[in-house]
Amino acid sequence: MPKPRKSLIAVESTPYYHCVARCVRRAYLCGDDHQTGENYEHRRGWLEAKLLELPKIFAIDVAAYAIMSNHYHAVLYINVERAKTWSDHDVVERWHLLFNGTVFSQKYLKDGKLDKTEMLIFQPVIDEWRARLQDISWFMRVLNESIARDANREDQCTGRFWEGRFKSQALLDEAALLACMVYVDLNPVRAEMAATPEKSDHTSVKKRCEKAKTTQRPNAINQQEKSLLPFVGNPREDQPRGIQMRLSDYLDLVDCTGRILRDDKRGYISANADNILKRLNIEEDKWLHMTRDFETCFHSFVGNEKNLRSACEKLNYQRPSGLAVCQKMFH
């Protein structure tokens, strides 16, 4: 039986999660339906636009994504500190961008305040909304419901468009995060939907590459793609929020890994990428296995043994989930 979502997500252990949602009923996000002749490529645009719009409302950032023919991947970052900076008024305004709210919330936004009794009743609601605006389940719910409504309207039908549950994997350390991001960014290459990562439509790596081409300092945080979680350079003191690697190093790692996976042979790992793998304590063969079969290789948690045991302990697991494969893949 699938575990409740609250037993799979522990922000105390990691803010990073890999989420996958799949269509049902011969539904399409892109491509041609050979039975009807309909083309659904535009739906990938719907999903990409909505996925990059929601972080402006939620305290959740997108680190990587890839939108495929009947499913999509998203690597998400829960920004707890951002949610703490919001005033109560900010929370209510953000919630109203998604839902109609309540009589109290509408009055609160209109008049700027409530009387003491009304505020006693409404304050717990604000606190609940603040929690939901940093909750991956609510993020995915808003995203998927929006696309499902539009797709059902276009198909002139009702019923489920997505599977009942999205899959999530906790990425417990830097090595797990980067392996998952490369796996996600190379999905279209492995599926032969694109020849190279930078030509992969509706992916984060293409968006990052397009932005990097327009600036002389692609590794500068303020010159990276604004809609995605930035790369902030190698680990150091007082490091800003973001992924601990230079963008140019990551793109090199994606490129050389993609060449090997596309050619379906061992290939050549560049010296720069090899240095990155050594820093992450990942052997080359294991890296290629993870970036090819990440979803089937791991279950709910991904990371080294220490981080895995810590996360499972915080979630009250009787035994560490997926320990054997994590011991094998991570030092």
pLDDT, position 135: 95
Q: Are residues 23 and 110 in the same domain?
A: no
Please tell me which residue, 201 or 271, carries the higher pLDDT value.
201
pLDDT, position 263: 59
pTM value is 0.90
* Average confidence (pLDDT) over 289-305: 88
How many angstroms separate the CA atoms of 185 and 204, rounded? 7
Q: Are residues 147 and 16 in the same domain?
A: yes
Query: Does the residue 121 lie in any domain?
Result: yes
How many angstroms separate the CA atoms of 166 and 32, rounded? 24
Tokens of 179: 């392996």
Q: Are residues 150 and 218 in the same domain?
A: yes
Residues near 89 by beta carbon (within 8 Å), at least 6 away in sequence: 108, 109, 112
Q: What is the phi-psi region of residue 31: left when phi exceeds 0, alpha when psi lies from -120 to 50, beta otherwise? A: left
Query: Does the residue 325 lie in any domain?
Result: yes
Tokens of 158: 């009702």
* pLDDT at residue 330 greater than cutoff 90: no
Query: Does the residue 223 lie in any domain?
Result: yes
Q: Are residues 187 and 271 in the same domain?
A: yes
Residues near 27 by beta carbon (within 8 Å), at least 6 away in sequence: 70, 151, 161
Q: Are residues 191 and 296 in the same domain?
A: yes
pLDDT, position 242: 93
Q: Are residues 104 and 61 in the same domain?
A: no
How many other C-beta atoms are found inside a 10 Å radius of the C-beta of residue 25?
Answer: 9
Query: Does the residue 5 lie in any domain?
Result: no
Q: Are residues 121 and 255 in the same domain?
A: no
Helix ranges, the chain (H): 42-53, 80-85, 88-96, 103-111, 116-132, 136-155, 174-185, 187-190, 204-212, 247-263, 271-279, 284-297, 305-314, 323-329
pLDDT, position 1: 46
How many angstroms separate the CA atoms of 276 and 137, rounded? 33
pLDDT, position 264: 57
Q: Are residues 31 and 106 in the same domain?
A: no
Q: Are residues 215 and 259 in the same domain?
A: yes
Query: Does the residue 3 lie in any domain?
Result: no
Longest distance between any two alpha carbons in the chain, whole Å: 69
* pLDDT at residue 26 greater than cutoff 80: no
* Average confidence (pLDDT) over 139-146: 96
Long-range contacts of 201-207 (CB under 8 A, 24+ apart): 201/44, 202/30, 202/44, 202/45, 202/47, 202/48, 202/65, 202/66, 202/67, 203/65, 203/66, 203/67, 204/62, 204/63, 204/64, 204/65, 204/66, 204/228, 205/64, 205/251, 205/254
Which range marks the domain in which residue 105 is found?
86-132
pLDDT, position 312: 87
Question: How many domains is the chain built from?
Answer: 2
Q: Encode pLDDT of 318-327 as tens digits.
A: 788 788 888 8
Percent of the chain with pLDDT over 90: 51
Q: Are residues 153 and 207 in the same domain?
A: yes
Q: Say if CB 179 and CB 298 are below 8 A apart.
A: no
The dihedrals phi and psi of 217, each to the nearest 5 degrees, come to: -130, 70
Query: Does the residue 151 lie in any domain?
Result: yes
How far does CA 65 lie from the centroid of its chain? 6
* Average confidence (pLDDT) over 33-41: 79
Q: Encode pLDDT of 247-267 as tens digits.
A: 999 998 898 888 777 655 544
* pLDDT at residue 5 greater than cutoff 60: no
Q: Encode pLDDT of 200-227 as tens digits.
A: 899 999 999 999 999 889 999 999 999 9
pLDDT, position 280: 77
pLDDT, position 192: 83
Q: Are residues 104 and 161 in the same domain?
A: no
The CATH number linked to 193 is 3.30.70.1290
Q: Are residues 67 and 91 in the same domain?
A: no
Query: Does the residue 206 lie in any domain?
Result: yes
Tokens of 302: 């991904």
**Of residues 144, 148, 146, 139, the one with CA closest to residue 75:** 139
Query: Does the residue 4 lie in any domain?
Result: no
Please tell me which residue, 131 or 158, carries the higher pLDDT value.
131
Q: Encode pLDDT of 150-176 as tens digits.
A: 988 988 888 888 987 899 999 999 999
